[in-house]
Amino acid sequence: MNQETVWRATAPSNIALIKYMGKTSHEENRPSNGSLSYSLDYLRTAVEIVPSGGKDDSWEALQNPEYPTPPQLSYRGMERFLNHFKMLKEVWQIEGIYCVRSANNFPSDCGLASSASSFAALTLAAAELARDKRPEITDQLDVKRLSELSRKGSGSSCRSLFSSWALWQSEGAAGVEFPVQNLLHQAVIVEAGKKEVSSSEAHRRVVTSPHFSGRVERAESRLKKLTEALNKRDWRTGFEVCWDEFQDMHQLFETSEPAFSYMTESSRQVLKHVFQYWENNQDGPWVTMDAGANVHLLYRDSQRQMAEELKADLSAYGQVIGNV
C-alpha cells in the first residue's frame, strides 16, 4: 500500500501589544496603524494537505495526538479557510483537488483566537505543496511574500510567520529583535463561548466611534514608546503602554455605533487584581486583552514565582492556561 503524500506545516498564535484595530482595506486586511506582537510558540495550529479524489477541495479535522483539538468551523468559517487555499493555488498555479486537515494543540473552547495560527499554517503548508509541484517558483516563496499572502486570509496571521517579535506596518510584516526575550505567557479564560461580535465586525464598527479620531496617532505613538521601552528593558514603561493601548481599543468598542463590549465583570476583576499587584509590588506582568473578554499576561523569565502566585489568585475568575 502506497504511503499517503502529505504536505505539512505548523504555525503559532501571537498576541498583539500594540493592536491591529481598524483597516484601510477590509478586502486586503490592510491595517490603519502599525502593530507589534509576541509569538506564543507553544499555542500552535497544524495543517496537512493531501490529494483528494473529490470534486472540490475539502476540509476535515486533523487526527494527531499532538494536536488534539479540531477547530469548530462553521460552514462560513470552512468556506473562508478553503477560499484562502483556493487563492494560494491560483497565485502559484497549483493544479489538483486536495483535502485540507487542521487542528490546534489548545482547546478550541478556551476563548483563544486561532485564526492567526490557522491561516499562517495553511499558507505555509500550501507553500510546501507549491515547492513540490512547481519547484521553479521556489524563489517566490520567501517568508515576506508568504506573510503578505497569509494576511489576505487573516490580518493578524501575517505576524505568525515571525518569531518572537513581529512588527506589522502598511508595507508588510517583519521579524524584529529586542533584548527582551523568552517571555512567559498566561491567559485568564473568563469567557470561552463564541463572541457575539466577531473581530471582523469590530474592525468595521470602531471607525464609527468619536474616539477613533486620533486613534492612528495614539497607536503609532505607543508603538514608538513600546519599542524604546523594549530596547531599554524598561519593564514598567512597557506595562503602562500596553495597559493604555488595550484600554484605548476597548473604549472604541464601547463608544461605537452600535456600541458593544467584550469586558465582563470577571475581566474587570482580573484587571483590578493585577493592577493592585503592580501598586503593591512596583512590578508585575504586562497585561493586554484582544477583541474578547479574556486577559493575557506576559512575564519576564525571572518572574516565574510571581506567575505561579498570580495563577493561584486569578483562578478564582476563570481557567488560567499558559506555559508557566
Q: What confidence tier does 1 reach under pLDDT thresholds 50, 70, 90? A: very low
Residues 172 and 41 in one domain: yes
Pull the grid cell for residue 71: 477547530
The label of the residue with cell 517566490 reads: 140
User: Which CATH number do you get for residue 63?
Assistant: 3.30.230.10
Q: What is the rounded average pLDDT for all residues in the chain?
A: 95
Residues 146 and 243 in one domain: no
For 149-182, how does the pLDDT look when each residue is reduced to its tens digit (9 = 90+)?
999 999 999 999 999 999 999 899 999 999 999 9
Counting residues of the chain whose pLDDT is more than 90, the rounded percentage is 86
The label of the residue with cell 477560499 reads: 83
Specify the pLDDT at position 198.
87
Residues 169 and 225 in one domain: no
The Cα-based distances of 163 to 24, 121, 148, 178, 240 in angstroms read: 26, 14, 16, 11, 24
* Phi then psi dihedrals of residue 190, to 5 deg: -90, -15
Residues 247 and 143 in one domain: no
Does any domain span residue 1? no
Q: Answer whether 12's CB lies under 8 Å from 189's CB.
A: no
Q: What confidence tier does 109 reach under pLDDT thresholds 50, 70, 90? A: low
* Residue 10, beta-bridge partner list: 46
- In the predicted structure, residue 122 carries a pLDDT above the cut 60: yes
Residues 222 and 274 in one domain: yes
Q: What confidence tier does 132 reach under pLDDT thresholds 50, 70, 90? A: very high
Provide the greatest CA pair distance for the chain: 66
- Reported as half-sphere exposure (CB side, CA atoms, 13 A), residue 87 has a value of 17
Q: Which domain holds residue 153?
A: 7-176
pTM of the model: 0.94
Does any domain span residue 2? no
Q: What confidence tier does 27 reach under pLDDT thresholds 50, 70, 90? A: confident
For 189-206, how does the pLDDT look when each residue is reduced to its tens digit (9 = 90+)?
999 877 889 888 998 999
Domains of the chain: total:
2
Pull the grid cell for residue 253: 468598542
Q: What confidence tier does 23 reach under pLDDT thresholds 50, 70, 90? A: confident
Residues 153 and 235 in one domain: no
Mean pLDDT of 227-232: 99
For 238-291, how does the pLDDT look when each residue is reduced to its tens digit (9 = 90+)?
999 999 999 999 999 999 999 999 999 999 999 999 999 999 999 999 999 999
Residues 51 and 110 in one domain: yes
